[in-house]
Every structure is written in C-alpha cells, then in structure tokens.
Amino acid sequence: MCKLRNVFTPYPDQRPGTSGLRKKVFVFQSKRNYLQNFVQSIYSSIDLLDRQGSTMVVGGDGRYFNQTAIEVIVQMAAANGVGRLVIGHHGIMSTPAVSCVIRKYKAIGGIVLTASHNPGGREGDFGIKFNTANGGPAQDAVTNRIFQISRTIEEYAICPEIRVDLATLSKQTFDLENKFKPFTVEIVDSVESYANMLRNIFDFAALKELLSGENHIKIQLDAMHGVMGPYVKRILCEELGSPANSAINCVPLQDFGGQHPDPNLTYAADLVETMRGGQYDFGAAFDGDGDRSMILGKHGFFVNPSDSVAVIAANVFSIPYFQHTGVRGYARSMPTSAALDNVARATKIELYETPTGWKFFGNLMDAGKLSLCGEESFGTGADHIREKDGLWAVLAWLSILATRKQSVEDIIKDHWQTFGRNFFTKYDYEEVDLDAAIQMMEDLELRILGKAFMGQRFAVGEKLYQVEKADNFEYTDPVDGRICRNQGLRIIFTDGSRIIYRLSGTGSMGATVRVYIDSYEKDPDKIFRDPQVMLEPLVTVALKVSQLHERTGRTVLPTKLADNSFETYQLAPLFSCKECVQVCLAPMQYCTMESMHLLYEILPHTAVKLCSNENKTADSRSNSEFF
C-alpha cells in the first residue's frame, strides 16, 4: 500500500517564511511533486523516533486546493510513521484552533493550510506552514532544516490508496502493510475544542448579558467567507445569544466570495459602511484563517491595532483568565507603535520589543515571561495558545465593554487622556527597484549610525524633534540568547516618537520599503487633533532624512476615492486623505486594492498635501535642520 517515489526535481524556492510557504495555486498544481516535496521535507525534519506513532494536527482555512492538499498530507503521514492525524471537520480549522488542538492533544506539531489574508480561488494563493509542539510557528532552526531538506530531497513516501472522509466526525483506522501501524485519522469538531478553551478564559455569563440581556448592545461581525464563520455562529450567536443576523459572510468559500479576506478598512468596506450608519455599537472583521481581526466602534470608529493591544493591557483584569494567572509581561513587534510601552511603564510590567514574527512571542510565553502581545498588522493574542487570535481579541474587547459600560470610542479616548496618544501610520513603497532600495537603506544606515546624527534636531513648524538613539534593530532573545540582526532601521527621539525603515519582499518584482511613523503626544489639548496634522512633521523628517522619494523615484501617489477608482496627482511628492493616515506610495501602474490594504482611517477621502521640500532651508551652523 505504501510506496517510495523518486523526486525528479528538488525545488530551490521552498524556503518557509514567517508564515510558511506561500505560492500561487498554479505553482502547487503545475510543478511536479511540488506539494509532496515540501510535505516530505516537513516530515523528514522530525526525527524518526519522535515521528513514529506520534500525533499531528491538520487544518486549513478552506481555500481552493485545501482538500487536495489534505489528501496528500494524510497519505504521506501514514507512510512516514505518524500514528494519528487529528483533522478539522471538512478539513477546516482556524489557525488559533490548530494551536489549541495541538496543545490539547499533546501533538508533536501541526500542518496549517492557509495563505492568511491573501486572495483564494484557482487564481489565488495557497500556503502551508508547520507549527511545532507548543502550538506556535516553527522557529528558524526548524524552518531552515525543512528548507535544506527540500533542496536535496530524492524521494518521498506515500500510501496513495488511503482515502479519508472529511465530512463525517469520526475515527478512521487503517492497517498498513509496513512497520508503522495502525494509522488513525480523527475528524474532530475544532469549534467545540476552541470554544471550550475560551469558556475557561472569559466570563461567558457576562458576555451573554452584554449581547442578549435587557440592555444588550448590537454587534456586527464579518467572517469574510473565511474559516471563522462556523466559530462566530457557534460562539457569538448560538452560545452568547447575539442575533443570527449579527454575523455575516459566515459560509467558508474556496475563493472567499471573490474578495481578499483581509480585515481592514479597504477590504471590509461593507462592514465599515454599515457601522457608520450608527445602528451597531461594536463591529469586527476576521481574516481568512482567523488569527487577525479589526475592531470598530459605533459610527465606524476605527481602533488602531497598536492602540487595541494597549487598551486590552490597560483593562487586562476585565478578563477572568488574567485575574487567575496574573500578568507576566507584555510584548509588541518592533514596528508596532509604543502605545503598549506606556501602559507597561505605568503598571511596572516588563515590556519586550521583538522582531516581526509571532514565533518570538511564543518563545517568551513558553518561558513564562509573556502574557499579552500584539502587532501593528491587526494581530493580537495571549499565552493561552501560541498564535495570534482574532476571536480572542474580539471577546477581550467585549469583556472590556461589559466591565466599563462605555462605548468603544469613549474607552479609546479615555485611554489617550490617561497614557497619551501614539499617532501612528505606515507607508508601503511597493515594487521599488531592488538595487535602488538596497543602496538607499545602506546609505541611510551609514548616516543614522554616524556620531554627528546623535542629538541632531529637526524643526518642522512648531515641532522640534531631537535624536536620542538610532540603530539597526537587533534582538537578543532573553530565553535562549539567540540574536536576530538587521531587523530595521530605527530613529528614536527624546519625546518617544520613532521613525522606522524596513526593507522586505525582495524578489524578481523588486522590493517593498516600509516606513513606520510613530508620533507620541501627551498634551491633552492635542491628542484629539487630526492625525494628518499631527503626523505631518514626523513624516516630513522621515522623507528628508532618507531622501526616499529622490532615491526611489516615487513621486506620484494614487489616492483611493469613494467609488473605489483611483486618481493620480502629479504635482506633489506625497498625498494622502484628510482622515486617512495609511497610504500606498506606489506609482499608478502598481496601484491595486492590495496595495491599499492597510488604510488606517475611513472615507470620505479628501486629498491633502502632507509635505513639500520646496521651501526647506538648512542651517549648517547648528546640529538642526528646518523644513
């Protein structure tokens, strides 16, 4: 029944990224043994003694090619000595649920089939990643081993006759004609496993009163035709009593209904428009695999992800789980705004700043150093599992609403008055010429690391920034001493404001230069001002210091209009919208909905000029620059 098959062509492009291996569907379908090669590399990365008779978990977000991949994974697991596979009903399991189930069954790991918020369908993307026994993404040592095996693989093992019924909750046993037997496949209700975990974290009675009691609030949740539909319907509607029509787009579809399952103000525009009508008090949207979510208040009030984790931290004891465990530490990814730092400082709780990637949080959690963490790309989570968790974040917010009996907007504004406000935005310059981008980053690093740069002052209008520190971020893991270098260029000012530059996405189509602007304001008379006005001075400094526009040739910015069309402005180096602090800095030919995917405020979009270098002057007699 089981066979060894030769691999005719090892592939050089199967290096797993932070979120596993992601490629277009046609790559998996058209390249001979492409999926089998990578799956065998995962199994071969696990020592045979650990693998033999072990339990592994498999689940995906339901996108196109999901069931085909599961069939191959099952057949190869049997041939590679795995004793038991635990698979989600219909092959569907959210990424947080995979982490939960790995830990529940004490599995040696799990295979997650998702490309997260990337589009699905025949023309879309497919992804596969390996989570280890702690339930979290594999560390670099593991993914590097998988990659090295994939480059030299000569054969893979498979039992091609095995067929599994994914539609029936059951235990299926197969007697194999080899030394690894028996082989068991369990099709499980992952929603119930995940829901049971949440019952032990949150006060479901209080949440039920909030959502269906006498003075209940009205909510609207958008599963975006991703994996979260069954979880939202079962937990929020059936158990906590929210009306059935409060959950929309809850049927998982292979192409996500033709949309990007990305929970932001662009791709969840229908939800945003509904929330703007004022009928609902709380809204949320989830990405394709359920590990990220966007939070909205009444009238479409948007909660910046960096603020979201900070507010949860400031109200952490609204969640019973933390009343029992206490709070061991907080963490954020380096590019995420320092809003969480302000809470950690005030509460005297340790704050860890890590490179981008949830695996760094997992290491801290395993060592008992971390309880709550988040990142600017809509990911928030805690130490109950080792993945970010979109529904957990929603229930955390609902717990705060139940405790404080205030609106989302009032809670956020009270938070700003208490801790100050971090005005935050991120600019993505996509498909920049690779050589130009690398040279710009190298020159920028030389400048900011020079002695003359320390203490330098930048004056923009009434605002004065003085450099306190500048570096290429380097992280030393406090658990195992591992060092991660070259994680991004940082300029930190004496008032706590920051500018961050990162180069990512290098490849045949060029590079992406990401610029993060984090401007701190504690003056209560200024914290409610227009974000664009408050960010303009630091944006000006960021562009001046890097000479990014001059070095990349990016001088044309598309502006997203209310009718989803684009208009190109030729006269200014930078435009944005009056209410929006997240923009795409791509020329018109690169401008797509995807490149606008992290808009941080909502329509109407009115183009305004943020900065101009036409009237700048420099005083060479001092260590200051004026714009």
Q: Which residues contact 95 (CB under 8 A, 6 or more apart)?
A: 61, 112, 114, 227, 289, 290, 291, 387, 388
Distance of CA 605 to the CA centre of its chain: 25
Helix (H) or strand (E) holding 156: strand 155-158
How many residues does this entry show for the chain? 627
Distance of CA 588 to the CA centre of its chain: 27
**How far is it, in rounded angstroms, from Cα 131 to Cα 141?**
13
Which residue in the block uniquely carries the two structure tokens 């952490």?
316
**How far is it, in rounded angstroms, from Cα 450 to Cα 64?**
51
Count of H-run helices and E-run strands, the chain? 19, 32
Distance of CA 373 to the CA centre of its chain: 12
Of 337, 623, 326, nearest in space to 458 by CA? 623
* Strand order across the beta sheet in which 183-188 lies: 21-24, 125-132, 109-113, 55-60, 84-92, 183-188, 170-174
Residue of 44, 54, 116, 576 marked active site: 116
Omega prior to 604 cis, within 30 of 0: yes
**How far is it, in rounded angstroms, from Cα 173 to Cα 84?**
9
Long-range contacts for 211-219 (Cβ within 8 Å, ≥24 apart)?
Answer: 211/236, 211/240, 211/241, 211/242, 211/398, 212/240, 212/241, 212/242, 216/241, 217/281, 217/282, 217/401, 218/246, 218/279, 218/280, 218/281, 218/282, 219/246, 219/280, 219/281, 219/282, 219/283, 219/284, 219/398
**How far is it, in rounded angstroms, from Cα 7 to Cα 3?**
13
**How far is it, in rounded angstroms, from Cα 443 to Cα 453?**
13
116: annotated active-site residue: yes
**How far is it, in rounded angstroms, from Cα 535 to Cα 531?**
6
Other Cβ atoms within 10 Å of 462 Cβ, number: 6
Of 141, 155, 120, 158, nearest in space to 9 by CA? 155
**How far is it, in rounded angstroms, from Cα 137 to Cα 18?**
8
**How far is it, in rounded angstroms, from Cα 421 to Cα 528?**
9
Of 85, 134, 132, 93, nearest in space to 114 by CA? 93
Q: Which residues have a catalytic role annotated?
A: 116
